[in-house]
A = this chain, B = another copy of it.
Amino acid sequence: MGFQVRERGGGSVRFSIEGVEGLPEVIAGADLAGLIVGALAEPLEDGDILVVTSKIVSKAEGRIVHADDREQAITDETVRVVATRENPAGGAPTRIVENRLGIIGAAAGVDASNAPDGTVLLLPIDPDASARSIATGIRSLTGARVGVLVSDTLGRPWREGQTDVAIGAAGVRVFDDLRGQADASGKPLAVTMPCVADELAGAAELVKGKSAGVPVAVVRGLGHLVGDLDLPGARSIVRPADRDMFRRGADEAYEEGYRDGFDEAQAEGPLREA
């Protein structure tokens, strides 16, 4: 399988995360693997994992449009509208949509933060391919068998605030699949499948921050999660809508049901007397 076996119960389990500072401003066509390797304070080792903010991937891939085209860009990136709500700040309503990648989020990931003035950034076309390209480049430059995650900031239902999650992955297990294993008391862990890629992306946010100009973090000490470059990517984290209990906003689903119920009652004709 190409994985190291995770050492459980023996030895101390410890990892560290460090922000990579001093990266130059990324422009279209930039060689991210080279820029990252050049900015590292310490050499990479087998099993290190790099978490790269999608912003700089988008910039390197030229995924940038004029801010005037923002609403159109959101529409273009949208596969399915999941829910909409009035924007408390005024202006266009907030659109929660499923984008080309199957990812559900506000504004299809189209974002003005950290984009050059007058522009907005779109998400990378294929973040798993972006991650693979960066991982291949870094492995080639350094000889170290590293993994790469591409992260983005997403809100979520039911809980306030945002967390960073993985939208691209290469050479990293995205799930630590414990199904079939047993807990400490010997009972099978039937449904436990921690999404370690999302946990890593969130952990990296703790050092990257949003405004500090630290778009890359290095995770050291979790080499058991690093594997071959053909491991499933972050696309495998996305749950298909037809298996998702929350595939539409509650208001939107209610309104569709209301219309259908109303139409059905009318089609049945006059109310029969009891």
Contact = CB atoms under 8 A, between A and B. Distances in A.
Interface string A104-121: 100000001111110000
Interface in A228-245: 236-239, 244-245
B117 A185 contact: yes
A83 B13 contact: no
B112 A194 contact: no
A83 B245 contact: yes
11 contacts: A13-B214, A83-B245, A89-B190, A159-B238, A160-B193, A200-B203, A203-B203, A246-B250, A253-B253, A257-B258, A260-B261
A139 interface: no
A83 B245 CA distance: 7
Interface residues of A, number: 99
Interface in A216-238: 222, 236-238
A274 to B, nearest CB: 12
Contacts of A213: 9, 184
A269 interface: yes
B181 A211 contact: yes
Interface in A187-226: 187, 189-196, 198-200, 202-203, 205-214, 222
Interface stretch (A71-79, A124-132, A161-169): A161-169
Interface string A1-44: 00000101100111111110100000000000000000001000
Nearest to A17: B15
Going nearest first, the 6 A-B pairs with the smallest beta carbon separation are A257-B257, A261-B261, A161-B195, A265-B265, A203-B203, A258-B261
A183 interface: yes
Nearest to A251: B245
A123 to B, nearest CB: 15
A265 B182 CA distance: 54
A39 B14 CA distance: 15
A2 to B, nearest CB: 20
